[in-house]
């Protein structure tokens, strides 16, 4: 798989110096914050959430200190559920409005705090502060300097701590089939514009990195047992047209399909929309 990825990158080299201004990212998420949760009410998003909730339940234990980077409206806290006792959840996000929504939504959850901040600067946290560092559904893709951010995450993660980080995939089927963009830009860019699913005809977007499995693995190379899997290829390919209602698909059948897809994607996770990186800090 590495050889194939390397040769693809040879054909379509990564962009090197592309500006990713922080204020454009914050402005984008500020603008959609109030509608954010309702934009993800569709069955595909619910299934993705459920698959990630299952993964989290495998790595989070009672009493864990959790850092959720790019927490948005606090989806990570919701997915951790009520089952795990004594959590200490810390959500951090660049967007003031996303954090305002998170605070409102989780106002009755006593074990959680939501702070405005930039995940590329974790200097307020001493080393080994967290048992689990997570960043769900693409937040990490908006970071301009991923290697430094990955090292900061390693620093604040305690020995024995785990990570679960999700990024947008560069060679997702959706990107590969976006012929107009692919051909006009001479390839599938590693840095480009991103608009969230279901955002309809909104003109606004945010700059983002799109990763190959090998690239994202290298960002977290200080961790051990690093694995990369793919989540959601087929439905994301044409999410604007594939309406679950039109296809009369329910939660159970969409989930079965996405789990089956994960087996098929195990050799080529990059074809999925999201890459899911997991790892452990052993010392
Ligand atoms: C696609 S949303 C995902 C939100 C949440 N993790 C979820 O799954 O619902 C991306 C979030 O990352 C935040 N973000 C982007 N860059 C960031 C940074 N450098 N530091 C902290 N948050 C950031 C955005 O403000 C936005 O809320």
**pLDDT at 41 (0 to 100):** 84
Query: Which of 70-74, 142-146, 242-246 shows the highest mean pLDDT?
Result: 70-74
Residue closest via CA to ligand 1's atom 10 equals 139
Please give the Cα distance from 44 to 129 (Å, whole number): 34
Helix (H, G, I), strand (E, B) or coil at 200: coil
Q: Are strands 157-168 and 130-135 parallel, antiparallel or unpaired?
A: parallel
> What pLDDT digit, counting tens, does each position of 185-232 carry?
666 778 878 887 766 556 788 889 999 999 999 999 999 999 999 999
> What is the pLDDT, as a whole number, of residue 185?
64
> What pLDDT was estimated at residue 17?
44
The candidate with the shortest Cα–Cα distance to 122, out of 95, 153, 146, is 153
Distance 214 CA to ligand 1 centre (A): 22
Q: How far is the CA of 257 from the centre of ligand 1 (A)?
A: 27
Q: What whole-number distance in Å separates Cα of residue 50 and Cα of residue 247? A: 20
Q: How far is the CA of 139 from the centre of ligand 1 (A)?
A: 4
Domain ranges of the chain: 2-6+18-280
Report d(CA 223, CA 150) in Å as an integer. 9
For residue 127, the model assigns a pLDDT of 97
Distance CA 278, CA 59 (A): 9
pLDDT for residue 268: 92
Per residue in 114-136, pLDDT tens? Answer: 999 999 999 999 999 999 999 99
User: CATH fold of 2-6+18-280, please?
Assistant: Rossmann fold (3.40.50)
Residue identified by tokens 């955002």 is 199
Q: Does residue 15 carry a pLDDT above 90?
A: no
Answer yes or no: is pLDDT of 167 > 80.
yes
What is the pLDDT of the chain when averaged over all its residues? 87
pLDDT at 1 over 50: no
Of 214, 174, 218, 179, give the one whose Cα is nearest residue 194: 174
Protein residue with its CA nearest to atom 14 in ligand 1 = 70
What is the 25 CA–ligand 1 centroid distance (Å)?
Answer: 9
Q: Ligand 1 site: residues with CB under 6 angstroms?
A: 25, 29, 69-72, 75, 92-95, 98, 118-120, 136-139, 142-143, 196
Reply yes or no on whether the pLDDT at 183 is more than 90. Answer: no
pLDDT-above-70 percentage for the chain: 83
Token pair of 124 as six digits: 């307020």
Instruction: Return the pLDDT at 101.
Output: 98
């Amino acid at each position: 798989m590495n050889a194939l990825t390397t040769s693809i990158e040879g054909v379509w080299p990564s962009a090197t110096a592309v500006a990713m201004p922080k204020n454009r990212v914050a402005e984008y998420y500020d603008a959609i914050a109030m509608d954010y949760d309702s934009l993800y009410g569709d069955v595909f998003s619910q299934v993705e959430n459920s698959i990630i909730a299952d993964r989290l339940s495998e790595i989070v234990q009672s009493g864990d200190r959790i850092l959720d980077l790019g927490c948005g409206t606090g989806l990570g806290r919701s997915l951790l559920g009520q089952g795990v006792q004594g959590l200490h959840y810390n959500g951090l996000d660049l967007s003031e409005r996303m954090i305002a929504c998170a605070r409102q939504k989780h106002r009755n959850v006593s074990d959680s705090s939501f702070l405005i901040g930039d995940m590329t600067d974790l200097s307020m946290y001493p080393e080994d502060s967290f048992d689990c560092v997570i960043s769900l559904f693409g937040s990490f893709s908006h970071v301009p300097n991923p290697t430094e951010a990955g090292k900061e995450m390693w620093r604040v993660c305690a020995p024995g701590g785990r990570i679960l980080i999700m990024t947008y995939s560069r060679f997702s089927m959706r990107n590969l089939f976006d012929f107009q963009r692919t051909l006009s830009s001479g390839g599938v860019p590693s840095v480009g514009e991103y608009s969230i699913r279901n955002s309809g005809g909104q003109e606004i977007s945010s700059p983002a990195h799109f990763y190959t499995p090998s690239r994202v693995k290298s960002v977290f190379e200080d961790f051990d047992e690093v694995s990369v899997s793919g989540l959601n290829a087929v439905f994301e390919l044409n999410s604007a047209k594939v309406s679950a209602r039109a296809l009369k698909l329910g939660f159970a059948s969409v989930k079965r399909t996405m789990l089956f897809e994960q087996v098929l994607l195990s050799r080529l996770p990059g074809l999925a929309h999201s890459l899911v990186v997991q790892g452990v800090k052993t010392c």
